[in-house]
Structure 1
Amino acid sequence: MPGRKHLRTARWLFPLYMVVIALPPLPLFARAGHAQLDTPAGRTFGSVRAGSATGQ
């Protein structure tokens, strides 16, 4: 059938298209998540500053 080749291409191209479309808003979501968790954007959850446990 002539349409089979198009369907095979669409099976991998459409999911790739959806991923590419979803990439641009990711930095906005990350920044909103940091704001909601009240953490600075440059700090990761595993890092601890010296003196932060003693309240200094």
Structure 2
Amino acid sequence: DAAGAAHSGPLALVELQNGDAAPSYVAGTQNFYALTRYNWSSYYALAVIELGQAVASVRSAAR
């Protein structure tokens, strides 16, 4: 997404398996790294980040 393109810090390429479908790739930032220090699952970290983005979107739409 466009937000990741503007990130100036270090990034990690994270591969997410999708069963028999092709894997998905995301760019992991420092926040992604911090979440995976708590729980090693990339899927967990991505879910937390996506939830945070959804909450932020709803909050900004409500203003």
TM-score normalised over the length of structure 1: 0.33
The structure showing larger relative contact order (alpha-carbon pairs under 8 Å, at least 6 residues apart) is 2
More strand by share: 2
**Which structure has the larger Rg?**
1
TM-score normalised over the length of structure 2: 0.30
